[in-house]
């Protein structure tokens, strides 16, 4: 596998891999991703996590992620991964140094399509809350060209295609 560089990422995004990308967010070997406007928080009433809109929140008036709190969040960016490209999500190093934690499930299979990336975020701090608002640069996607195209695409086997908002585990509640 080969990590893609800036001009390769731009060409793929322009061709529809990330149709709503912002060219200003392209780095030498990654694409910055921004936080979307829906998160999911725990519900004391049942096992389901419940959606919560953070639309309208800003850096000056953010949603406060409490110490130890776990949420699901989404990216603004929508993905349509080509059959020979995979991606890995990483927190921005500044976010990690501030105390945000990502539970490392941000993998984009070849063929994954029509979806925002759902992020598993946690505040690792013990005392201070961390701010969240739509548009916050939360992480970056590193893209890889596969050595060969897979026999079976995620477009056929995947459970998380066409997810246009934050999506809780489909396996946890349904036994998939």
In this prediction, residue 163 carries a pLDDT of: 62
In this prediction, residue 155 carries a pLDDT of: 67
Q: Where are the domains of the chain?
A: 2-148
Active site residue 120: yes
In this prediction, residue 176 carries a pLDDT of: 44
pTM, two decimal places: 0.89
In this prediction, residue 175 carries a pLDDT of: 46
CB of 79 closer than 8 Å to CB of 155: no
For residue 18, with 0-12 CB atoms within 10 Å meaning exposed, 13-18 middle and 19 or more buried, which class applies? Answer: buried
Give domain 2-148's CATH superfamily.
Deoxyuridine triphosphatase (dUTPase) (2.70.40.10)
In this prediction, residue 172 carries a pLDDT of: 53
In this prediction, residue 42 carries a pLDDT of: 87
How do the pLDDT tens digits run along the chain, 176 residues long? 799 999 999 999 999 999 999 999 999 999 999 999 999 998 777 677 899 999 999 999 999 999 999 999 999 999 999 999 999 999 999 999 999 999 877 789 999 888 899 999 999 999 999 999 999 999 999 999 998 887 777 666 666 654 666 665 556 555 44
In this prediction, residue 49 carries a pLDDT of: 86
Q: Among residues 42, 98, 101, 120, which one is catalytic?
A: 120
In this prediction, residue 45 carries a pLDDT of: 74
């Amino acid at each position: 596998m080969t990590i893609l560089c800036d001009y390769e990422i731009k060409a793929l995004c322009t061709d529809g891999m990330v149709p709503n990308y912002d060219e200003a967010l392209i780095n030498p070997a990654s694409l910055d991703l921004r936080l979307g406007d829906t998160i999911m928080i725990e519900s004391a009433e049942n096992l389901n996590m419940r959606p919560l809109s953070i639309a309208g929140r800003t850096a000056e008036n953010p949603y406060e992620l409490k110490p130890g709190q776990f949420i699901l969040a989404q990216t603004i960016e929508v993905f349509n991964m080509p059959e020979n490209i995979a991606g890995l999500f990483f927190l921005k190093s500044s976010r990690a140094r501030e105390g945000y934690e990502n539970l490392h499930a941000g993998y984009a299979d070849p063929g994954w399509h029509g979806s925002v990336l759902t992020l598993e975020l946690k505040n690792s701090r013990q005392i201070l809350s961390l701010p969240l608002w739509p548009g916050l640069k939360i992480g970056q996607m590193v893209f890889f060209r596969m050595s060969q195209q897979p026999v079976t695409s995620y477009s056929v086997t995947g459970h998380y295609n066409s997810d246009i908002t934050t999506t809780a585990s489909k396996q946890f509640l349904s036994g998939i």
